[in-house]
């Protein structure tokens, strides 16, 4: 059992070292950690690299549920019981280093070490907040704003650490699956973001801080993928007459910062 000189359990050391019931594994890009439908017998902790969780429907359609960053746990289905199955597949996007914790060892450390239990419960609460924020995003925001929020989350905006300006490689199809739209619309929105100065890309996507300002202050002009103009059309008399009411309605559904970027551990 890992303890420092004062006898306190050291969570960082526990999550960075091998020991009874846990081992470190390394995977290359596109290798699979676990597959949907197989027995859930362990928890994973992502130390380095990027990964994704995907799900396949009965009709064979695959969708990306979420992207994983260092410090994330995944595979927590193993806590539900010995016969629980994986609900998603976990796949490496880049080279990954992961700590694999057997379900028996996970049960032991959760029961005996409050420091680890606190960390894990905090992570689960943050993931729940993120899931709720994703649902709110789907209900109240159009696909263009959902794409902007997804890009900012991939750049670690909203975390305690400084955001990154270059996000990991991701395909437009993956982004489309995550926000619930088509690849062609994502392509249109990405080109539009680039023309507006929110992003730049040449093989890798660079996120500019102006994209965050756009999302928080709702400054993106309303557009439709079939009308690829960059400027808002002039308001007619009728639109001018209802504009104050529209702004009030929009403000009523404007989310605080925490709903766009729930706190991270």
Place of tokens 């109240």: 140
SS (H, E, C) the chain: CCECCCCCECHHHHCCCCECCEEEEEECCCCEEECCCCECCEEEEEEECCEEEEEECCCCCEEEEEEECCCCEECHHHHHCCCCECCCEEEECCCEEEEEEEHHHHHHHHHHCHHHHHHHHHHHHHHHHHHHHHHHHHHHCCHHHHHHHHHHHHCCCCCCCCCCCECCCCCHHHHHHHHCCCHHHHHHHHHHHHHHCCEEECCCEEECHHHHHHHHHCCCCCCECCECCCCCCCCCHHHHHHHHHHHHHHHHCCCCHHHHCCCCC
Q: Give average pLDDT by consecutive 10-residue segment, the chain, 265 residues.
A: 61 93 94 94 94 89 86 92 90 94 95 94 88 74 85 75 75 86 91 90 84 74 43 44 41 42 50
Residue 103: what pLDDT? Answer: 94
Please identify which residue in the block is written with the tokens 């102006």: 210
Which pLDDT score, from 0 to 100, does residue 151 have?
87
pLDDT score recorded for residue 104: 94
Tell me the CA distances in angstroms from 77 to 35, 54, 93, 129, 176, one per residue in order: 12, 15, 22, 18, 26
Backbone φ and ψ for 254, nearest 5 degrees, come out as -75, 130
pLDDT at 159: 63
For residue 229, what are the CA distances in angstroms to 3, 11, 194, 221?
Answer: 61, 52, 13, 10
Q: Which residues pair with 73 in a beta bridge?
A: 45
pLDDT (0 to 100) of residue 241:
44
pLDDT at 115: 93
CA atoms within a 13 Å half-sphere pointing along the CA-CB vector of 58 = 0
- 240 HSE (CA, 13 A, CB side): 4
Measured distance CA(154)–CA(140) in Å, rounded: 21
- pLDDT at site 158: 62
Write down the pLDDT at residue 167.
82
């Amino acid at each position: 059992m890992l303890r420092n000189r004062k006898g306190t359990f050291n969570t960082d050391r526990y999550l960075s070292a091998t020991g009874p019931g846990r081992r470190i594994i390394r995977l290359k890009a596109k290798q699979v950690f676990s597959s949907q439908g197989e027995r859930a017998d362990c928890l994973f902790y992502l130390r380095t690299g990027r990964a994704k969780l995907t799900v396949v429907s009965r009709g064979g359609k695959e969708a990306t549920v979420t992207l994983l960053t260092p410090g994330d746990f995944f595979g927590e289905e193993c806590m539900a019981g010995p016969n629980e199955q994986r609900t998603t597949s976990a796949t490496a996007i880049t080279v990954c280093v992961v700590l694999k914790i057997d379900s028996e060892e996970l049960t032991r450390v959760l029961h005996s070490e409050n420091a680890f239990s606190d960390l894990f419960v905090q992570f689960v609460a943050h993931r729940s907040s993120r899931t709720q924020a994703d649902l709110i995003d789907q209900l109240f925001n159009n696909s263009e704003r959902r794409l902007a929020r997804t890009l900012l989350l991939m750049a670690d905006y909203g975390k305690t650490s400084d955001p990154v300006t270059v996000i990991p490689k991701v395909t437009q199809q993956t982004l489309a699956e995550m926000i619930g739209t088509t690849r062609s619309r994502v392509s249109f929105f990405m080109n539009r973001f680039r023309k507006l100065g929110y992003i730049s890309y040449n093989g890798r996507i660079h996120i500019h801080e102006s994209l965050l300002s756009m999302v928080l202050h709702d400054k993106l002009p309303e557009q439709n993928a079939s009308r690829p103009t960059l400027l808002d059309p002039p308001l007619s008399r009728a639109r001018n007459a209802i504009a104050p009411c529209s702004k009030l309605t929009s403000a009523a559904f404007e989310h605080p910062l925490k709903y766009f970027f729930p706190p991270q551990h």
